[in-house]
Amino acid sequence: MRLRAELEGTKRLLEISRVLMKVSKSAIILLSPSSFRIAINDSSPTLMKCWVQLSPTGNEFALFRTYKVESKNANQIAFEIDLSSFERALRTAETSNLTTIKLAKRDDLACLSFESTSHVR
């Protein structure tokens, strides 16, 4: 599994995560070469299911400057995230010049890695 993306739509993704945080504490991110999806997957019968699907690149609503997903599972990657941790990472990315998102391994577990760069003069 590989993911490498340069974040461009930080504010848009931050707004989406804040809305989803009102519904649930966690979400599922589904990645493919042509789409970026976030879904709430709660087993509660009273909770309305919701999801967001965006084109990762190539239009005015794009989230990423560059976006590459590779996987042995039909080039699709799915994982669960804690929305409050995701929102904190996005808040940091909001003030940086460049943020790269990668899928990394830590202690044999896949994790989402945010690398932010800021230039100070």
Residue 121 has pLDDT above 70, yes or no: no
Q: What is the pLDDT of residue 47?
A: 64
The model carries a pTM of 0.84
What structural domains and CATH numbers belong to the chain? Answer: 2-117 (3.70.10.10)
Residue 51 has pLDDT above 90, yes or no: no
Within 10 angstroms of residue 7's Cβ, the number of other Cβ atoms is 23
pLDDT band at residue 44 under the 50/70/90 scheme: low
pLDDT in tens, 67-113: 999 999 999 999 999 999 999 999 989 888 889 999 988 888 878 89
Give percent above pLDDT 90 in the chain: 52
